[in-house]
Amino acid sequence: MAAASAGSGLIFKLHPLVIVSISDHHTRVKAQNHHADDGSGGGAATRVFGCVIGVQRGRTVEIFNSFELLYDPLTHSLDRSFLEKKQELYKKVFPNFYILGWYSTGSEAQESDLQIHKSQLMDINESPVYVLLNPVINHSQKDLPVTIYESELHIIDGIPQLIFVRSSYTIETVEAERISVDHVAHLKPSDGGSAATQLAAHLTGIHSALKMLNSRIRVVHQHLVAIQKGDAPLYNSILRQISSLLRRLPTMESEKFQDDFLMEYNDTLLVAYLAMLTNCSSTLSELVDKVNTAYDRHAKRGVGRMAFI
């Protein structure tokens, strides 16, 4: 079902964001299955499916991003209405991106994959690509566990058949992707056996420093209260040091602090408002489509009735 190499001459450039997105999709589904299995069997190994999008310039195909799709394991089919809706949404954000093909997870291409490829993707793209990610870790393998397939029509036993053929690819990155990939690459196991990033370690250090600062401030405050009550001796040198320390701290009543705080607060509110407006616009767009559909049907029935009269 799969040939060794493709003969189309296409040059594929795969961006790391696609690999990260597919891996994230697989990890989330695997975690959900693990929780659904009550932790007894580790969850069923479920394949994930989605579309890959990008641009094609001549013989060069550049895969920039991907999005998830709903899959029915009983009928071995994708949710077409969900696909079209996601395609419309991505077209509004990335007008230059087109659906180049689809992706899935597994060790090798299956017969059901070829059926999905022929029946549900070739009407969107006449020559879709199939990106297959193998989620099983193989420490002896040096290459990325990603395979890109093209579909070609071969004559087998005198019968023309569509089969998958492997294609070579290169990794293409931009600056923003380099930052995210570098962050993911610095994953390291912690003492508890889980994965902790450098960011988590940095935040843990800040948290510990804040806890220590809070404890030191409490000690100073308790000492000042004890001096005020007469329970502790008064030393002017210590009071001068405490006064000098307090003068170094930025005051929260300053005008600059209020301006910065209001600016950040307004930015946060703006993001929340934009998210709400986007959600309302999507709901309103669906309502308008339904009203237009109902109006068109009513108008057609009215025209038919008038023609009958």
The distance from CA 233 to its chain's CA centroid, rounded to whole angstroms, is: 61
Range scoring the smallest mean pLDDT among 147-156, 196-205, 277-286 = 196-205
Average pLDDT for 150-158: 80
- HSE of 87 in the Cβ direction (CA atoms, 13 Å)? 18
pLDDT at 130: 92
pLDDT > 70: percent of the chain: 80
Q: What is the DSSP letter of 136?
A: S
Residue 163: is its pLDDT beyond 90?
A: no
pLDDT at 201: 74
Q: Grade residue 193 by pLDDT with cuts at 50, 70 and 90.
A: very low
* Per-domain boundaries in the chain: 2-185, 191-249, 254-309
CATH 2.40.110.10 holds for 2-185? no
Residue 51: is its pLDDT beyond 90?
A: yes
- In angstroms, the CA 7 to CA 165 distance is 9
Average pLDDT for 211-217: 89
Residue 288: is its pLDDT beyond 90?
A: no
Q: Grade residue 100 by pLDDT with cuts at 50, 70 and 90.
A: very high
Q: Grade residue 180 by pLDDT with cuts at 50, 70 and 90.
A: low
Q: Grade residue 177 by pLDDT with cuts at 50, 70 and 90.
A: confident
What contacts 13, CB < 8 A, 6 or more positions away? 60, 61, 62, 63, 169, 170, 171, 172
The overall average pLDDT reported for the chain is 80
